[in-house]
Amino acid sequence: MSILNLGLQGVALKRLELIENIANIQDMLNNRTERLVLKDKKFKCHRSASEETITKLFEIKKCNNPTCPYCKPIRLPSQEFHDLSFLSDPIPSQENTDHYAAFQSIYGTETTEEYRPTYMQSQANAEPIPKSILVVGKIRGYIDCEDCKKRRLHQFFPDDHYLKEVVFVRTRINCDSPIEVLYYSSCKSGNYPICYYCGKSEGLVVPPESLKQRFKQIYPLCEMCIDNRKGFHTKGEIKTNGHASKRRKT
């Protein structure tokens, strides 16, 4: 890493140019990197893989090339091997959309990952907001939910409003959701400790020392939520070497 730092010394990238002309930026960085030498060997840059190449990495089939050093000779008849298709993605059955179509009915057809269970789950939980927006530095203020009184952000504009793609709010939260963790990282004026579960600022409990020694972040918890069998929400477990600690004590 220190060698790369030397190679990029004096290099500054403008965000606008980075977005508009990424190819030239890549060429410049490749040129600087390939000047470096480590143990008498020059650095070499490779072109990034295309989407098609990445897709093929997960679809493995023997190349049937006798000179290939990786693929062993095929054992199927040539025509049968040639007719083999890659496994199809799951798609709903046309007769019953609550079930997937039979393998035999879609094998050899063009399908997409649209109905893959893990993909559907990730899309259902994903916020329709660019990731660069949901950061602490871009918090502008807080509002209280009219229903649950928790500090929330709600949808401000209808779908056809011109500001809908300019001003973003989180939509995958509801009144049962806890307080967003970004709230506790914000230094915005008006930020004060509130319970992670209910959002109340009264009756907060001091976390025990045992938790402070185990976790880097312990979110506030009130007495009422403890009565409702809630526990401290924690983040960032502190990893320690127990044997090393014992040796230091002795």
**Whole-angstrom distance, CA of residue 188 vs CA of residue 146:** 22
Domain range for 33: 2-42
Task: Judge if 10 and 73 occupy the same domain.
Answer: no
pLDDT band at 158 (very low <50, low <70, confident <90, very high): low
| CB-count exposure of residue 152 (10 Å: 0-12, 13-18, 19+) | buried
What was the pLDDT predicted at 218? 95
- Final residue before a domain boundary, out of 123, 153, 177: 123
- Final residue before a domain boundary, out of 123, 150, 167: 123
How many domains does the structure of the chain reveal? 4
187-190, long-range: CB < 8 A, 24+ apart: 188/139, 188/140, 188/141, 188/142, 190/141, 190/142
The answer on pLDDT for 245 being more than 50 is no
> Is the pTM here over 0.75, yes or no?
no
The answer on pLDDT for 162 being more than 90 is no
- Final residue before a domain boundary, out of 103, 123, 143: 123
Task: Judge if 78 and 38 occupy the same domain.
Answer: no
Task: Judge if 59 and 86 occupy the same domain.
Answer: yes
Task: Judge if 61 and 106 occupy the same domain.
Answer: yes
171-216 residue pLDDT tens:
778 889 999 888 888 877 778 899 999 999 999 999 999 999 999 9
Task: Judge if 142 and 107 occupy the same domain.
Answer: no
